[in-house]
Structure 1
């Protein structure tokens, strides 16, 4: 069950992170998500896994808020943003 929840959160975090309009924020959020899940991939302790999933859920909520705020104050796109 935790594995399915982890995969669901992973996909949701990547999808939401890709919505950042700023390249630097987008790149950081995607990289940080991948690194965090990779680092905890082989964690055997169910309590630590639940703690990690709780933190991931909180981060997802934070990213959703930040994307919304970023859209309200959208700046001019950078040249590097045209490639993404």
Structure 2
């Protein structure tokens, strides 16, 4: 039986997945993976069963490796930015 991961290791895995999710250059992929990471870790937040936590940690560690490879490919073939991502310049009072 595998030992349950510590709270710190789960937090480190969460922050790594979140950082990798935010590294996607495509807005749609980036926002999807950030939402998915948040909801996945929110579901397991109150879990106390060591076996389930160990299985969750192992699965998400493998998923992190896939996510990192996908992020690199997405950065290579990112494309142009969407209108949603464009930052509008702040208007000055005299710029009417």
Structure 1: 5+ residue stretches without partners: none
Larger Rg over CA atoms: 2
SS at structure 1 position matched to 2:31: helix
Taking structure 1 as the reference length, the TM-score comes to 0.91
- Higher RCO by CA contacts (8 Å cutoff, separation 6 or greater): 1
Q: CA RMSD in A?
A: 1.2
Structure 2: 5+ residue stretches without partners: 88-96
Tell me the alpha carbon deviations over residues 62-81 of structure 1, each in whole angstroms, 9 at most, x when there is no partner: 11100111112121111112
Question: Contact 1:10–1:33 at 8 Å: present in 2 too?
Answer: yes
- Is the helix fraction higher in 1 or 2? 1
Aligned with 2:32 (options 12, 28, 38)? 28
